[in-house]
Structure 1
Amino acid sequence: MNALILIAEDDPEIADIIRAYLEREGFRTVHAGDGRIALDLHHALKPDLILLDVSMPRMDGWEVLSAVRQRSTTPVIMVTALDQDIDKLQALRIGADDYVVKPFNPVEVVARTKAVLRRAAGDHGGVVLRAGPLEIDREAHEVRKIAADGTAARLSLTLTEFRMLVHLARNPHRVFSRGELVDACLPGSDALDRTVDSHISKLRRKLGQAGLPDMPQGVRGVGYRLMQS
């Protein structure tokens, strides 16, 4: 069955345009005119992706995004007139997968929808990833270190740290470039190499505090891998 897209947009004309272009490409759509309805539809219908406006009645897009991220990993693309870098960074920090500024070309919205869905489809290999003593539950957004006696200690990571750990853990012995980590974990941002280094440094510190001092590992001039083979 074709993907179901939840369009959370209070302007009916914009919603109709997005709906028409998506349905022409074979997507199924459902529309929410305010943030509260958007959350209710997300809970009831489990859409494959949300196109989310920021300025909506009852609950704004930031509140909706935060609530969605507390209970699921549903891909979210913000579609908003807010075009300042601080707005984009806030969206990515809360957990948006992409960011489209109004006025937009509907063809671009469809293209970005397809790209985010493809990226999400590549993430479905299994809910729980295991790499060495780490157990990563992608659905619950939990990371646990499993000790030799079978006891588990939970790690507290930010969303970006979690995304980077997941990406590295899918292929723990491969070296990923900083550019690959930006594309996979900070999509739509203008993050620089030092931004990746900062997130990795914080992740390494937390893993070190959990008794895993050598994860992730830096490879000079190339990037990072989770562990050596």
Structure 2
Amino acid sequence: MIFRLDERLLFPDPALAEEDGLLAVGGDLSAERLLLAYSNGIFPWFSDDDPILWYSPHERFVLFPGELQVSKSMRKVLRSDTFKVTFDEAFEQVIEHCSAAPREGQNGTWITTDMKAAYTGLHKLGFAHSVEVWQGDALVGGLYGVHAGNVFCGESMFSKVSNASKTALIWLCTNTNYGLIDCQVYTEHLESLGARMIPREDYISILHNNASKA
């Protein structure tokens, strides 16, 4: 059963999600609702022609920073002067670049105009962050996401040149105090860096246990 949300600020139990993770339809993208969603293991994922769809997958693809795997060739890239990395210096540019490419397994952009506005609002409130990767003065890669306690809920990443998005994720794991990076959906790219599946129950337990940590 898929739940239909109204103006009330609440979500059904994530355990009631459909097999594909779809939990609810409707509601809005207010900061309050988004923060409530993330703190309970729920995230929005929909296209321009869809209503707002809320997901809580039965398994979560995550990366524990302590399990990060960096290849020898990637270590060489990181030691070079190929890239410069910044944090929260070009959030709107990062989300714009991310919106230009479809998410794996989905046709068209899923980062709609309303989504951009909502996450930019969260960024201004201090809840959404970006990592930027530069080559000279050009923004060539990056990622953005939302923090829920000391869990970083990654939303999207992009790469204009080889290894740029990997550099962003490695920097996030090694230069911040997040205890877990939520990658949401499986990709071989992230698996090669050490990401793995965990049950939703374990993920939500981690969220709730770390809710008060920044």
TM-score by length of 1: 0.28
Q: Which has the higher helix share?
A: 1
Q: Which has the higher strand share?
A: 2
- Of structures 1 and 2, the one scoring higher in RCO (CA 8 A, sep 6+) is 2
